[in-house]
Amino acid sequence: MGGKKGLLSLNHATAQDLEQYVSGLLSDEDSSVVHQHLENCEECQNRLAEIAIQAQWKGAEGRREPRVPVNFSGRLKWLDPVTSVGPPHDVQIIEISRTGLKILTPRYLIPKTLIQIHFNGKAMLGKVVYCEKSDSGYQAGIRQVEDFLSA
């Protein structure tokens, strides 16, 4: 894979490329190159997940940020004592962005419920934004929160 200087160095996106990608700082052309690479590179998907979880990005919320298709297994735990039902359960992370995740879950998640998701050796605290029925369970949008007070 070619690309501009720095972009897809040694056939992988650099850390700087991934940070600029999730921050929306790449040109449309460079963003497209990184997005196409991420669709097929598990190593760069994992690196992007690491950046998205650890970073403290500030900025506009909404659909203007890149959402990257991924395929990670995870475990979801409800943290709200009123809505918690049963033990943690398996989920599939299917998209990641700088402010959250889209997951596939076998159970309906009540919007505004506080949850914790473990995947790739990390834990993420989040709040359910929406949950919709799909052919293979439910798709839920999870917004990352910094701590219990910001939830």
Residue 73, burial from CB neighbour count under 10 angstroms (0-12, 13-18, 19+): exposed
**Domain assignments of the chain as residue spans, ordered by start:** 9-54, 68-150
Q: Which fold has domain 68-150?
A: Thrombin, subunit H (2.40.10)
Check residue 82 and give its pLDDT: 62
For residue 84, the tally of other CB atoms under 10 A from its CB is: 13
- Contact present, 22 and 59 (Cβ < 8 Å): no
Check residue 64 and give its pLDDT: 57
Check residue 54 and give its pLDDT: 60
Q: Say which DSSP state 20 is in.
A: H
C-alpha to C-alpha distance for 144 and 54, rounded to whole angstroms: 11
**Alpha carbon of 42 to those of 27, 36, 83: distances in Å?**
23, 12, 34
- Contact present, 1 and 8 (Cβ < 8 Å): yes
Q: With the C-alpha atoms ordered 15, 59, 132, 74, is the resulting torsion angle positive or negative?
A: positive
Check residue 29 and give its pLDDT: 86
Residues of the chain with pLDDT under 70: 1-10, 23, 52-65, 81-86, 147-151
